[in-house]
Structures are given as structure tokens and as C-alpha cells.
Chains A and B, each alone.
Chain A
Amino acid sequence: MKSGYLKQAWLVLALALCFGAALAVVQVAWGPKIEQNKENDARSQIPRLVVGAGADLTPAGRNVEIRDERGLRAYRVYRAMCAGEGGRSVQIGWVVKAKGPGYADNIELLVGLDLKAETITGLAVLAQNETPGLGNAIKAPAWRRQFAGKAAGGRLEAVKGTPHADCEIEAVSGATISSQSVCDIVNRAVADFRAKLPELRDEE
């Protein structure tokens, strides 16, 4: 009985077999390259994220997880490594991957910090879905550059027009909400990270 069905469907079976195999071949052939692309994409941000060129990202031994009354927050943390003297690579800073609500959808950021997590060294936007032409201007390098050099201890604030105080960031015009969202994500991630920094240090 069963073989009857199978006989009818022999073409399907054959094709399934062939296609499965073919796709696996594709995966074998291009998989590594795709992985590489993804990696490169993330890495291409690093030089701008951390002081010093030629840095490389290595995932830290553990991620930072914070659980408080607002729920569980998890950040992926990377060490920024740089070729130092004698070919030994030395750590020059940290990179934290953080995610939070933006105007329309979640925004995913990479925040670069110096070794002691005292200064923000840079910011990259990995994923966002803000309004094209408005909120999505947070991707612009010129806008992100404002974050470099800000003190990691302070609370960043997006303001309209020229910023006056040190902790102020000039909001993208017409997109204060998106800008403030970025600030909020950075503020929280940096605070959470700094709280866990000793533990991470201890790992070394």
C-alpha cells in the first residue's frame, strides 16, 4: 500500500533528494563566504568604534546579563584587540552590542568604549527601521560621530538645535524621538556594562 503512494510520488522523492544535495553543496561552497561577509560587516565598524586602527573583535568569554525589575537585558560584548608590540595582540577597548526601542522598531547598536569604560569611543548602527529620510539619518557617520569622546558616566540627552552642555547630542532634525532613543539605548547599555565590568576584568 505504502509503496503505492511512494511509487506515485517517485519524482517528488527524487527531486527532494537532488535538491537537498544541491543546496547542501551551495551551503558548503558559499556558507563560509557568507559568514565571512557577516563578520566583515560587523568588523568594518570597529576601527571607527575604538581608538586606534587595525583593531579586531574577539567575543568576550561571557556576555553581560542584567536582571532587574525591568526584566532581563542581555548584551553581547566583544573585546577590541589590536596588534601590539611583538605581534602580541593587546586589548584596547570594549564593544557592546545593544538593542532597544526606536521610533518605529527596535534599533540595534554597537557602542565602543575605552578599556576602562570611561569614554565612549564610537557608535555604529547595525539595524534600524526608522522612517527613511527622517529617523534613518541616525545612520549618518556625521551624526554618530557626536558620541565619540563623550563621558561614559553621564546621561546623554538629545536636544533640538546646537547642544550646549557636554552631555547633549544634537538631535536629527525632525527625528527627536529616534535620536533620544539612541541616547537612551546607549545610556542604559553603558551603565549596565560598567556595572559588570569588574566581573569581566576578573576573567582575564
Chain B
Amino acid sequence: MAKDGPTPLERFIHGIIPENPVYRQLLGMCPTLAVTGNMAAAMTMSAAVLFVMVGANVITSLIRGLLKPHLRILIFTLTIATFVTIADKFLAAYVYQMSKELGPYVPLIIVNCIIICRCEVCASKQSLRAAVADAVGQSIGFALALASIATVRELLGSGSWFGIELFWRKGTPGEACRWAIMNQPPGAFLTLGLLLGAAVWIALAWNKRTKVNI
């Protein structure tokens, strides 16, 4: 810890690939599995996470001098819960259909480990700038991960992307070729499992080539 920490820019970049919250840190798996049935839901979720993460990191960073060790987790959760409620109500007020689809998974952001983890690891120790950069980086990493999973699931499961039907259209005989499993829990687990494997494989290959530990 004595060393100079990474710069805000590095933090931003780290969050996206090298320390991707889903693929590298295995954080926040629940929403990752639950809302990646289609791209629209996944992206809405990512936006909500971005909002909550930035909000919570900002507040935590601001009050970091006042934190008491044994109460800090409580304070993080309270802060996060507040922002989540705001996000939830916002969705309900302005994108009602999506809010209905995401259902309880928006409030579950409260207990999403990514956010607590970032508050704990970064925001409670860093300046505002670093905290914001970190939050945005991590959120983009999260969004990328969700997007990759949702793309696979939506393409195979419905032949569409962001709801735009590309193949296996409704009403054609090809509709029977849709992989309905992708819209269901097993599909979510299997897709994430395989993509995770692929991500680790790439990371291993990368490590071997560059001989650098990420």
C-alpha cells in the first residue's frame, strides 16, 4: 500500500478488462445471470449499476475521513440502498416496462458485491477523482460483460439483438430453431460458465505470452 497507487486513468482502464468485475473478480454474479436474457435488459441494468456505483463511490469518498472501521460496511450499504431506491423509482417512473421486466433484480443491486467491494477497496481510501474513475471503469467493465453474455443468449435464444429480429424470425418455420434454453436458467448458467472459461483461457494465454501477471 505504500507504493503509489494507480492513477485515475489506470483505475478506469483496469476496471474494464484486466480487473473486469464479472470475468476476473467473479463479483455480482446474480444480476449477471438474471438480466442477460436480452440486450435491452442487460443495458438498463448496467446503466442502473453505473448510476449507483458512481453515486455510492462519490459519497463514500467524500465521507472517507469520518468512517469508523466497524460501522463502515453498514454505511456503505445504507448509501447504496438509497441510490438503488432512487434508480429503481426512476426506472419505474420513466421506463415502466423495463422496470417490470427487471423486477426484483434492480433492488438486488444493493447487495451486489461489486459496489460494496469498490467502496471498500477504492472509494473509502481514495480521492474523489480516483473514486469516480474507478466507478465508471468498473461499471463499463460490468456492462461489457453483461453485453457479451446477453448477446450470446439473445442471438441464440431469440435470433435477435436489442429486440431486432435478425434470423429465426417469429412466424416462420425457422422459429422452431431458437434455442429456448437460452432464455431459461440453465442457459444462463451454461453461457456464463463457458464464457468465463473462455475469458480465463484468454487471460492465461495472454499471461503466458507476455509473462506479466495481470
The answer to whether A and B belong to the same complex is yes
Q: Which residues of A contact B (CB under 8 A)?
A: 8-9, 11-12, 15-16, 19, 22-23, 26-27, 30-31, 33-34, 37-38, 40-41, 131-134
Q: Which of B39-47, B71-79, B114-122, B125-133 makes up part of the contact surface?
A: B71-79
User: Which residues of B are found within 8 Å of A131, using beta-carbon distances?
Assistant: 180, 183-184
Q: How far is the CA of A9 from the CA of B92 in the complex (A)?
A: 33
**How far does the Cβ of A132 sit from chain B's closest Cβ, in whole Å?**
4
A sample of 28 inter-chain contacts (CB < 8 A) reads A8-B68, A9-B71, A11-B63, A11-B68, A12-B74, A12-B75, A12-B78, A15-B75, A15-B79, A19-B78, A19-B81, A22-B82, A23-B85, A26-B86, A26-B89, A27-B89, A30-B89, A30-B93, A31-B89, A34-B92, A37-B93, A38-B96, A41-B100, A132-B157, A132-B183, A133-B158, A133-B183, A134-B180
Given A9-B71, A37-B96, A19:B82 Cβ within 8 A:
yes
Q: How far is the CA of A31 from the CA of B184 in the complex (A)?
A: 33
Q: How far is the CA of A134 from the CA of B176 in the complex (A)?
A: 10
User: Which residues of A are found within 8 Å of B82, using beta-carbon distances?
Assistant: 19, 22-23
**How far does the Cβ of A102 sit from chain B's closest Cβ, in whole Å?**
15
Residues 152 to 174 of chain B near chain A (Cβ within 8 Å): 157-158
Q: List the count of A-B residue pairs having beta carbons below 8 Å apart.
A: 61
Q: How far is the CA of A184 from the CA of B204 in the complex (A)?
A: 56
Given A132-B37, A132-B180, A133-B178, A8:B71 Cβ within 8 A:
yes
User: Which residues of A are found within 8 Å of B66, using beta-carbon distances?
Assistant: 11
Contact count band on B? 20 to 34
Interface of A is mostly: helix
Whether a CB of chain A sits under 8 angstroms from the CB of B214 is no
User: Which residues of A are found within 8 Å of B183, using beta-carbon distances?
Assistant: 131-133
**How far does the Cβ of B160 sit from chain A's closest Cβ, in whole Å?**
12
Pair A34/B93 contact, Cβ less than 8 Å = yes
Whether a CB of chain A sits under 8 angstroms from the CB of B90 is yes
Pair B157/A41 contact, Cβ less than 8 Å = no
Given A8-B68, A11-B63, A11-B68, A34:B89 Cβ within 8 A:
yes
Give the 4 A-B residue pairs with the shortest CB-CB distance, closest first: A132-B183, A133-B180, A37-B96, A30-B93
User: Which residues of B are found within 8 Å of A26, using beta-carbon distances?
Assistant: 85-86, 89
Pair B79/A19 contact, Cβ less than 8 Å = yes
